[in-house]
Structure 1
């Protein structure tokens, strides 16, 4: 299902956001100096000034990526703008070596990490960024070009809110406002902005898409309800059909596999990503193979994206494959990630060795779990020994093991919040925080 709505003027979008946000609130606005983020800052400041709100405060942050000449000057320009409006402003610079390839993705990760640091320092309740209606259309166009499948989840576009690093909600108040309306709003206020030359560089995919779809669009296509509803249904399915053992084995009731195919597919894809320690959902063709295997209803096993799906008469068992289980040394007092599935904190005064392809660990599983499944679980559960004294296990209290949900721990779209929380409860993790708006 999709539906169309008319875009909302920037000032009205800002008012709606301020009306809905949980109060009191401290908002951190990410401002690059471009028209979209500048318009967001000015609109939010205007609304707060007009309403005289005392329970909402506004600060801004600018990230200097240090990728081109003039970026530092633009950051200082934003600082001057904020000073004129009495808005506290922070500048952070992305220092260090830059990758030769994948610079856009690396810059994005660095940007959010630096913004997150500022948000933590000031105790921000929410981070606001200036993505617009045009950005949404471009995102959907890019994802559509990559896959013509009718079940392409990318067609949902960007979520209006995303949880970063499990603690900072990033919101997009202008996702229903057009860039042209934002620029008209700024011109009315006599406010200029900086034009980033990379926004016109056709070597970037988004710019090429923007050029191909240059005709102004006054209608928004909102397809997010598809993914939100599907994800919620998958969450309910997991609650009813799944149980977890040792945070690394999922058992699915056979009756659950007879449910709606789209729901089963979405749920199993999410579970497989968590169990396999994969940051991204399984490729569509891989899930096609898994679903085709399950549809036969015949006992057997299939592996996809580091996850093993073993179908037996009593249940479907889902676990990490036993190949390439890593070894890891964790120094005294250090915290490390193991196999993208567990966070290990060494609270002892000795170096601890985690895992290893020859490691085995006696596991405490119900007698109903098949012996061959239990044997594989022995190989994928984190084993802990003292370095230099192999065979000597760490004592109680010397190590903390925290299961990870790598598909959600860095970026969790609002679409999947309920689903992520169901899986978190399933494997013994605390719930993710609710968005403030």
Structure 2
């Protein structure tokens, strides 16, 4: 196995790997995906990476120029190259740095690979930490679950360590592949537009996600590692043709032969992103004119004001509203959105509808106001809380509890009808501003099964030493 470093997991490549490495199931660093030679692609210099960071760094008080920087490092060529470049850049900026590897607990080799990454980075003086997913993997939608778990772990770590920027290694070919995959699914402008170079934090004190390599071909990242004499790990799942992305990569040369090169596809995605941003501006204007969104996790829509926008903008905002209030990762399919929009604008809601984990019901008898809130049967289960540890619940709220030394078993779950009745007996004034349909699905903190706090209502049980800090994180998506 001359292509492997002694002690490295299977698939880890050294600079100058032999030509027969592909026969052993490894990536040959002398070829680009699709068979095009890499000899014309130079490595990325530190000065060039400095320019990339200058272009894409966030300009925000939530991403201070002296804040910490973290890099997501799987051990693959893309993330290893980014890690080396970013570490050198962070030193010139006098910024704290950490490389983060996530073990999802899915593949048996993951722990070994994480240890190998740590060994490589320690040899270069690069700080590294492995984060482990505790929750069991689902039987379906595994990739989406892994992505969400990975980002949640890394973002929570960043928030706890005053890290304001999380760097991700998506590159030019990733842009092109994503465009083609989403085109095959019938995606609209949002799905087809390019990945953003920077994404705002998902919660207070969370990191910006920054992608400085989106214009860089993968071959330059491989060359950067070869130039630095740095090995990397080849993920065996990248060869598994049950994944559509891998099947697409095998077609890359055929696509390039008819003009669908990664560069051209990525340029198209960028053009579509400009269109998306213009539509987003229009949707935000409509939001301000026609919606009243409450931190208690519901929205009231003024139909007459909503009607004034174009259909595309109406659908865009409605989809985002439903995904945010319903705790969903994506908007509903367009045909379902169109059906719901027709019902809202045409007084066809009747007694109400459900979609994407939300209830949509007319308020009063006039029909010009529509209430959109969480659907009870879709709310997340009760989960445990740890004092001082931030916890996301129902993909809508982020909570942190502080308490004295004597604290019982803490949980968070929906308030429910019984909890609503209990508060009505104690503090009925707290319920006047929140519709019951929305209020019963607010997060309620219980100690030893006794209701102690409902921060969305401003309720705290008399004599409790528990303080709950809460953020309606779904609002950031609107």
Q: 1:300–1:405: structure 2 CA closer, same or farther, 3 Å change rule?
A: farther
* Residue from 318, 323, 327 that aligns with 2:371: 318
Q: Deviations over 1:38-69 (max 9, x none)?
A: 111222345456xxx24334332223445445
Answering whether residue 289 of structure 2 is matched by residue 237 of structure 1, we say: no
Alpha-carbon offset, residue 174 of structure 1: 0.9
Residues 64, 75 of structure 1: 8 Å contact kept:
yes
Deviations 1:180-221 (A, max 9, x none): 122223323333322222111112222122223344533332
Partner of 2:74: 32
Q: Distance in 2 between matches of 1:79 and 1:273?
A: 38
Distance 1:46 1:141, change over 3 A: same
2 CA distance for matches of 1:191 and 1:333? 41
Task: Quote how far apart the aligned CAs of 1:124 are.
Answer: 1.9
Q: Secondary structure at the match of 1:107?
A: helix
Aligned partners of 1:132 and 1:156: how far apart in 2?
A: 15
- The equivalent of 1:211 in structure 2 is 250
The residue that corresponds to 2:51 in the other structure is 16
Contact in 1 for aligned 2:297/2:373 (Cα 8 Å)? no
CA RMSD of aligned residues (A): 4.2
2:86 to 25, 41, 44: 44
Structure 1 position 345, deviation (Å): 7.8
**Inter-partner Cα distance in structure 2 for 1:59 and 1:389:** 41
Q: Relative contact order: is structure 1 or structure 2 higher (C-alpha 8 Å, sep ≥ 6)?
A: 1
Tell me, yes or no, if structure 1 residue 154 matches structure 2 residue 194: no
- Kept after mapping to 1: 8 A contact 2:414/2:440: no
SS of structure 2 residue aligned to 1:218: helix
Range moving further from structure 2, 125-134 or 115-124: 115-124
State TM-score, norm by structure 1: 0.72
- Secondary structure of 2:101 counterpart: strand
Aligned to 1:83: 122
- Correspondence for 1:59 among 98, 102, 121: 98
1:106 to 145, 163, 167: 145
Structure 2: gaps (5+ residues)? 1-40, 58-63, 452-458
Q: Which stretch has the larger CA shift, 203-212 or 111-120?
A: 111-120
Deviates more, 1:343-352 or 1:97-106: 343-352
Are residue 404 (structure 1) and residue 457 (structure 2) matched?
A: no
Deviations 1:348-382 (A, max 9, x none): 9798995335755664259xxxxxxx675676667
Q: Tell me the SS of whatever aligns to 1:56.
A: coil
How many pairs does the alignment contain?
390
- Asked whether the equivalents of residues 234 and 263 of structure 1 are also in contact (C-alpha less than 8 Å), the reply is yes
Query: Matched residues in 2 for 1:96 and 1:323: separation?
Result: 24
Cα deviations by residue, 1:106-151 (Å, 9 ceiling, x for unpaired): 333343344335434543221112111111111121111111x6x3
Determine the C-alpha separation between the residues in 2 that align with 1:48 and 1:387.
Answer: 47
Distance between the aligned counterparts of 1:202 and 1:131, measured in 2? 21
Structure 1 equivalent of residue 300 of structure 2 = 250
Q: Could you state the TM-score of these two structures normalised by the residue count of structure 2?
A: 0.67
* Counterpart check, 1:308 vs 2:357: no
Gaps of 5+ in 1: 1-6, 367-373, 409-416, 424-437
- Measure the CA separation in 2 of the matches of 1:60 and 1:384: 35
Distance in 1 of aligned mates of 2:142 and 2:214: 25
Check 1:395–1:131 CA distance in 2 against 1; reply closer, same or farther (3 A cut).
Answer: same
1:355 corresponds to 2:404: no
- Check conservation: 1:74, 1:194, Cα contact below 8 A: yes
Correspondence for 1:175: 214
Distance 1:282 1:310, change over 3 A: farther
